[in-house]
Chains A and B, each alone.
Chain A
Amino acid sequence: MHTHPLERFWIYLSAGLLVVFAFAVAFSSLVLGIEIPGIEDQAVPAAAAGEYPPNQGWIRELAPGRYEVNMMTRVWTFDPGEIRVPRGSTVTFYLHSADLLHGFRIQGTTVSLMAIPGQVGKVTYTFTTPGEYPFVCHEYCGVGHHLMSGRVIVEGN
């Protein structure tokens, strides 16, 4: 098929750019370790039972500076709505929904996840800077959607 030389150049250039972008994305995922959720995370937190039932919201300390949060979402609250951890803590969130689709995004971090009834989302983040991090629901869930929020408070030590 005949193509104009300039057009051929443009095609190679476009394809080359996309290959570069694809490598950048692969690098960020495989080397930098930026994770997105999959099907592997469907289990509720290990050994969650008794004091820490899988269908309720709670925070537990696994070791100094390591926390697990079982986050329940329902119209229009997060449970727990306030999380206090010391600076430098690594927190693993398990995200559930009791009713509709909800979203979970902690402002100023890379934590962002969908809450889907019947699925469990998992994300881990290390809070290095003290301060208040609001988290919000970012999926429409009815007239009170914009009221659905909470906060992580990272305390300096």
Chain B
Amino acid sequence: MSGVAPYEMRTSEKRLVLWFIGIGFAHLAVGILMGLLQGLQHAGIDLYRVVPLVRHYYQGLSIHGVFNVLVFTTYFIAGFLLFVTGYGLGRPLPGLRLGWVTFWVMTAGLVLVDWALLANKASVLFTSYAPLQAHPAYYVGLVLVVVGTWLLLVIMTQAYLAWRRENPGRRTPLITFGALATIFMWGLASVGIAVQFVGLLIPWSLGLLPGVDPLLSRTLFWFTGHPIVYFWLLPAYISWYFMLPRQVGGRLFSEPLARLAFLLFIPLSLPVGFHHQYLDPGVSVGYKAIHGLLTFAVFMPSMLTAFTVLASVETGGRARGGRGWLGWIGRLPWQDPSVTAQLLAMVLFAFGGISGLVNASFTVNLVVHNTLFVPGHFHLTVGTAVALTFMGVTYWLVPHLTGRRLWSRKAALWQAWLWFFGMTLMSRGMVWAGMLGAPRRTALGSAPYFQPEWTDPLRLAAFGGVLLTVSGVLFFVNLVGTLWGAPRGVTTEVPVAEPVEEGRAMPAFLDRFTPWVTVTAVLVAAAYLPTLYRLFAEMRLTVPGLRPY
């Protein structure tokens, strides 16, 4: 039996989860506004002179990237993983005090990051490529956020081990299983930026090192920089696989394949970083090809997901009376904003995945590298599959945690559809402009080389950005309304799906993590060690930092 009995978390635990989620969304609100400014700038409307606090495009862009994909994601995920771990195991978290320590460590770091960004002392974009240098507070702050995620790993492992002692022979409940796979993968993946920030960037920004080795620094960044996208994505998968089927009145189609998909992400997320460095001189073509092939391999668990999740949703549509090949789709509960948001997120994720294959393709990447095609791609993945799913989850999670009703279901439905259409148009515009050669991360509205054929796609993208902003406003009004204005005393169910075939025999390696972590270590060593060894052996800490912003 892998199901989950209804369980009520302690109030103190719920409060901790709410704080994580709230701070995450507060940053997303600012991040979305910055995105609007960028889209308008590309279309010839420059608002940077009139907006307070933000001095220029690149400061805004740094805030946009860091707030949206480092702060919002990490905070929401910390809250959500704590929640599904505790709820799934049906027992109090043994490390609640450590949970608050985690929150304060991360938030102390966040204060430093926020200050550095808002004071224009860290306009280096979220990739923080050396020798572009930020204020030391920025690097220290980000390290503290990462340390927070490690503490989260400790809390979740403690809870898991305690549960296993209490429940010998039982399978790990699915939502908790997904959370553990996510955090174990991240624990391995985060080693790269830990070495980069602690070993290179912090001492260098403090003047303790004469210079930095840009290629080594960049390579360490991408060691973490690609798997981090699965750290964002897997929590969305937890909802799609193990919660959404229940919300649509269905069941999980295949428990073994769902577990396999999560487990495959542990080894396959990591040895792929060179696909961000295809055009870097100084990394061998052979290893780039290996990382390229492994990137295709990590596409497999997402293809498994596409099948299993859709088949699970289909069981719901059929249980609700849907007939025929497609008739079940109309029978899904589209009036439930949490469901609608997640289904629409999945639709756009299909295009996100396909455009990702373009980026990952060794030679094809030449055409799109560092063009707007790339943000066109990842606004479909992290910007929709992840962000819109998190919003959809919030539509039941915050009511559950607060005991209040969702403030406005109608606004939530509008929000989901507006995000879907806004992102479709924005992403289409970006991909289009990118294929016409428009570089990403560039104040195109002020570029002397602006090509006339970029005008239409960039206007389309800007229009999509406006719709997204309206969607964002609807979301935040609804969130604030739910937290402070909606009626109390309402019970909201935590949706947890049961598998179609409950209790079917399953190989033991589908409920163990150690073999997968071992495979990961071997695979990462094979894919990375020769290059890292050479880069460390040839390391020259000679290039000084520069702050031209």
Which residues of A line the B interface, CB within 8 A?
A: 1-4, 6-7, 10-11, 14-15, 18, 21-22, 24-25, 28-29, 34, 36-42, 75, 95, 99-101, 103, 105, 107-108, 110, 112-114, 116-122, 134, 136-147, 149
User: Could you list 18 examples of A-B contacts with CB < 8 Å?
Assistant: A2-B504, A3-B257, A4-B311, A14-B304, A22-B293, A39-B285, A40-B285, A95-B281, A101-B131, A105-B370, A105-B437, A110-B367, A119-B280, A134-B451, A142-B58, A146-B442, A147-B446, A149-B447
Interface membership of B334, Cβ < 8 A: no
Using Cβ atoms and an 8 Å threshold, which residues of chain B touch A1?
A: 256, 506-507, 510
The reply to whether the CB of B366 lies closer than 8 angstroms to some CB of chain A is yes
Bound-state Cα–Cα, A39 to B284, Å: 5
CA distance A150 to B300 in the complex (A): 42
Q: Are A101 and B439 in contact (CB under 8 A)?
A: no
Contact flag A140-B281 (CB < 8 Å), given A36-B363, A149-B447, A149-B448 = no
- Of residues 270 through 328 on chain B, the ones whose CB sits less than 8 Å from some CB of chain A are 277-286, 288-289, 292-293, 296-297, 299-300, 303-304, 307-308, 311
Partner of A25, one of B257, B361, B369: B361
CB pair A37 B437 closer than 8 Å: no
Whether B214 pairs with A101 at a CB distance below 8 angstroms is yes
Interface status of B543 (Cβ within 8 A of chain A): yes
A110 touches B366 (CB 8 A): yes
Chain B residues within CB distance 8 Å of chain A: 56, 58, 61, 123, 125, 129, 131-132, 213-215, 218, 253-254, 256-257, 277-286, 288-289, 292-293, 296-297, 299-300, 303-304, 307-308, 311, 357, 361-367, 369-371, 437, 439-444, 446-449, 451, 504, 506-507, 510, 540, 542-543, 546, 548-549
Closest CB in chain A relative to B366 CB, distance in Å: 5
Q: Is the CB of B254 within 8 A of A118?
A: no
Distance between Cα atoms of A104 and B129 in the complex (Å): 17
Given the complex of chains A and B, what is the CA–CA distance between A120 and B212 in angstroms? 17
Contacts of A121 in B (CB 8 A): 279, 281
CA distance A145 to B285 in the complex (A): 28
Inter-chain CA distance A116–B129, complex, in Å, is 10
CB distance from B173 to the nearest CB of A (A): 20
Contacts of A4 in B (CB 8 A): 253-254, 311
CB–CB A141/B371 < 8 A? no
Would you call A141 and B132 a contact (CB within 8 A)? yes
A29 and B281 within 8 A (CB): no
Q: Is the CB of B282 within 8 A of A113?
A: no
Known: A138-B440, A146-B443. 11 other contacts (CB 8 A): A22-B296, A39-B283, A103-B370, A105-B369, A114-B279, A117-B214, A122-B281, A140-B441, A141-B132, A143-B549, A146-B446
Verify B546–A99 contact, CB threshold 8 A: yes
Which chain B residue has the least Cβ–Cβ distance from A9? B307
Q: Are B370 and A144 in contact (CB under 8 A)?
A: no
B295 to chain A, nearest CB (A): 10
Main secondary structure of the interface of A (DSSP, over half): loop
Establish whether residues A139 and B437, one from each chain, have CB atoms under 8 Å apart when the complex forms: no
How far is it, in angstroms, between the C-alpha of A40 and the C-alpha of B307 when the chains are bound?
43
* Cβ–Cβ < 8 Å partners of A3 in chain B: 254, 256-257
Q: Are A101 and B282 in contact (CB under 8 A)?
A: no
- Inter-subunit contact A118/B125 (CB<8 Å): no
Query: Contact check: which of B213, B284, B363 meets A34 at CB < 8 Å?
Result: B363
Residue contact A118 to B540, C-beta cutoff 8 Å: yes
Chain B residues whose CB sits within 8 angstroms of the CB of A95 once the complex forms:
281
Q: Which one of B281, B365, B442, B507 contacts A120 once the chains associate, using CB atoms below 8 Å?
A: B281
CA distance A144 to B218 in the complex (A): 22
Q: Kindly report which residue of chain B lies nearest to residue A104, judged by CB atoms.
A: B279
Across the interface, do B439 and A105 meet the contact criterion of CB distance under 8 Å?
A: yes
Query: Which of A3, A42, A145 is the most central at the interface, judged by chain B CB atoms within 10 Å of its CB?
Result: A145
Smallest CB-CB separation from B296: which chain A residue? A18
> Which of chain B's residues have a CB closer than 8 A to the CB of A114?
277, 279-281
Q: Are A134 and B280 CB-contacts (below 8 A) given A25-B361, A101-B214, A112-B369?
A: no
Complex Cα distance, B198 from A70, in Å, reads 36
Q: Are A143 and B58 in contact (CB under 8 A)?
A: yes
Contact in complex: A15, B285 (CB < 8 Å): no
User: Given the interface contacts A36-B288, A75-B546, does A113 sit within 8 Å of B281 by beta carbon?
Assistant: yes
Are the C-beta atoms of A38 and B132 separated by less than 8 Å? no
> Given A10-B303, A36-B366, A110-B366, are A136 and B449 neighbors across the interface (CB < 8 Å)?
yes
CB pair B442–A25 under 8 Å, yes or no, is: no
Most buried by A among B218, B303, B444: B303
Instruction: Please indicate the chain B residues that have their CB under 8 angstroms from the CB of A144 in the complex.
Output: 548
Q: Quick one: given A95-B281, A105-B437, are A11 and B292 in contact (CB under 8 Å)? A: no
Task: Look across to chain A and name the residue whose beta carbon is closest to the beta carbon of B285.
Answer: A38
CA distance A146 to B367 in the complex (A): 19
B443 touches A36 (CB 8 A): no
Give which listed residue, B123, B257, B289, contacts A7 with CB less than 8 A. Answer: B257
